[in-house]
Chain A
Amino acid sequence: MSAALDIRSLSVRYGRTDVVRDVSIRVARGESYALVGESGSGKSTILRAVVGMVPDWRGEIEVDGAPRSALGQGAFAQHCQMVFQDPYASLHPRRTVDATLSEPLRIHGIGNRDAQVIEMMRSVGLDPRYRFRFPHQLSGGQRQRVAIARALMLDPKLLLLDEPTSALDVSVQAEILNLLVRLRAERGLTYVLVTHALPVVSFLCDRLGVLHKGQLVEETGVAALHDGAFRAPYARELYQASLGAGDRVRDAG
């Protein structure tokens, strides 16, 4: 069975700096995989390379067994979508929730848009009353629900999550995480999550990869987060550093 996402020896350059060096990741269908690392470790860049937002990359990226380059933009959109970190920047400021959610259906010529938009709003926990609101009339959590709904409109199987909760209040973070867990179970989604918050990983993911300076230093099951059984010294360091922060999130959530 082919993997949902198969990245082989991916390298990305921004100008003269190597941001990602020779990273290989294989994510099975239905799995939830986390990429962790500190800022600047290249974790977001990997997601951006997968969706084609980074022009200068080398290596191979396969989605659902098909090379990235073989999938046209339209076909790729139906396989894989992304949820961005900042819900304030990822929604068009002049389009209502309705316009944002029906846009992917319009692009792909899918009919019955009104019913689908309302159904999707319900399924991400948004009251259909908000359908004709603008982003500036919504709270951060509601915006992120809209962003998640937008990513799911085309019913993709692979969802890339770029720090989906880090721009939100702690209490709202918990709601969004619960929503992501429920959606994954309901729709059989595959997640690739980028984050620096290890508690989020242990809540949402099965497996994680630790990135350090653009290289994958360790790949392990999520159980390692409970006993701290990391081999790579950098991964142990990251784990130790997160212990304090983890307790805070668990108390609040």
Chain B
Amino acid sequence: MGAVRDWLTDDAPASRLQAQAGRAWSIARAFGRNPLAMLGAVIIGALIVVAIFAPWLSPHSPVGQDLGSRLLPPSAEHWLGTDELGRDILSRILHGARITLLIVVMVALISAPLGLIIGAVAGYFGGWVDRVLMALTDVFLSLPKLIMALAFVAALGAGLQNAIIAIAVTAWPAYARIARAETLTFRNSEFIAAVRLQGASHLRVIVVHVIPLCMSSTIIRVTLDMAGIILTAAGLGFLGLGAQPPLPEWGAMISRGRSFILDQWWVATMPGFAIIIVSLGFCFLGDGLRDVLDPKQREGR
């Protein structure tokens, strides 16, 4: 163990691999010192594990109906009770983790690169390119997220894929704004001029030199937005415009439980808890990442 630590903390790494491993090590150490961030990482880790192993972890089928045991309260047999069709709520929540993770990952994969590229291009070139791209961004930014997503789903039809596209389309403008603001702070700096002077094309400057500098603030912002994405997805599900029955999407589950909320509180409450815990996990993780990845804050330590 000591040898590995020495290798990781060597102040004169002998290879690119060692340098990168050492950097990851120091970031991980800084991250480990923050208890809330670790809690967030544990929650998100648990979400991922649950999503992968849902069929093995859940005691019952998520869609198998048993009308003989409708709306049973939490018990040893059904830990979180059953819903109006006799389905085990715990099993449905565990399977729902897959849908939640799918939505979050897909939205992040679509909207973050889109916003990053648009923002970096606008900030780097400036002038009319900037004006056109930012006008477009402002149009999207000025529309309320859920209403926009509703309009998209209405146009494309209800369903999980369309909900993902709708949320992604409404999520990118924030990242474009951040990336543009970051790019503006160094577009006239000498290290960018030096790279241009070495013969690099605009494309290369943007992809290799500008975007990596915008990356950490975007990652932080995406992680903090995850909670909002989950809530928007749940909201679409609640309105019946996201995942369709019998998919165990958490928002849709709350929506179904609404009819019984006074007498069978657990039907709507349990998926609600799941949403709250996962959203909190992403918030903690995002805060922790900001402390670790933001170089301005790290320099001072």
| Interface positions of A (Cβ within 8 A of B) | 51-53, 73-74, 76-78, 81-82, 84, 86, 89-96, 98, 103-104, 107-108, 129-133, 136, 147, 150, 153-154
Taken residue by residue from 202 to 229, chain B's Cβ proximity to chain A (1 for < 8 Å, 0 otherwise) reads as 0010001100110000000000000000
> Measured between C-beta atoms, what is the minimum distance from A188 to chain B in Å?
21
- Which residues of the other chain, B, contact A104 by a CB distance below 8 angstroms? 198-199
Tell which of A81, A89, A153 has the most Cβ of chain B within 10 Å.
Answer: A89
The answer to whether B190 and A86 touch across the interface, beta carbons within 8 angstroms, is: yes
**Interface set, chain B 232-273, CB cutoff 8 A to A:** none
- Can you sample 11 A-B contacts with CB below 8 Å? A52-B197, A77-B197, A84-B190, A89-B191, A92-B209, A94-B295, A95-B209, A107-B200, A129-B12, A136-B299, A154-B199
B33, CB-defined interface residue at 8 Å: no
The CA-CA distance from A73 to B204 in the complex, in Å, is: 13
**Partner of A77 from B18, B190, B193, B198 at Cβ < 8 Å:** B198
- Is B39 positioned at the interface, with any CB of A under 8 Å from its CB? no
Q: Across the interface, which residues of A come within 8 angstroms of B295, CB to CB?
A: 93-94
Say yes or no: B16 contacts A74, CB within 8 Å: no
Return chain A residues, CB-CB under 8 Å to B15.
Answer: 132
Dominant SS at the B interface? helix
B189 CB → nearest A CB, Å: 6
Measured in the bound complex, the distance between the Cα atoms of B189 and A93 in whole Å is: 11
Extra contacts, 5 of them, besides A96-B19, A131-B13, A133-B12 (Cβ < 8 A), are A51-B193, A91-B191, A92-B213, A93-B295, A103-B198
Name the residue among B15, B194, B204, B208 with the largest chain A CB count within 10 angstroms: B194
Does B52 belong to the interface (CB within 8 Å)?
A: no
Q: Which B residues are in CB contact (< 8 Å) with A51?
A: 193, 197
A76: chain B residues at CB < 8 Å are 199
B16 and A132 form a contact (CB under 8 A): yes
Interface presence of B195 (CB below 8 A): yes
Let me know if B194 and A132 touch, CB within 8 A.
no
B198 touches A107 (CB 8 A): yes
Chain A residues, CB < 8 A from B18: 132
Task: Tell me whether B212 and A94 are in contact (CB under 8 A).
Answer: yes
Q: B195 contacts A103, CB within 8 Å?
A: yes
Nearest chain A residue, comparing its CB with the CB of B210 = A92
Could you tell me the distance in whole angstroms from the C-beta of B198 to the nearest C-beta in chain A?
A: 4
Alpha-carbon separation in the docked complex, A74 to B19 (Å): 31
Task: Let me know if A107 and B199 touch, CB within 8 A.
Answer: yes
CB distance from A70 to the nearest CB of B (A): 15
- Given B16, B19, B189, B197, which contacts A82 in the complex, CB threshold below 8 Å? B197
Nearest residue in B to A135 (C-beta to C-beta)? Answer: B191
Residues of B within 8 A of A131 (CB): 13
Chain A residues, CB < 8 A from B299: 136
B16 engages A53 (CB within 8 Å): no
- Point out which of B189, B199, B209, B299 has the most chain A C-beta atoms below 10 A from its C-beta: B199
Bound state CA distance, A94 and B212, in angstroms?
Answer: 8
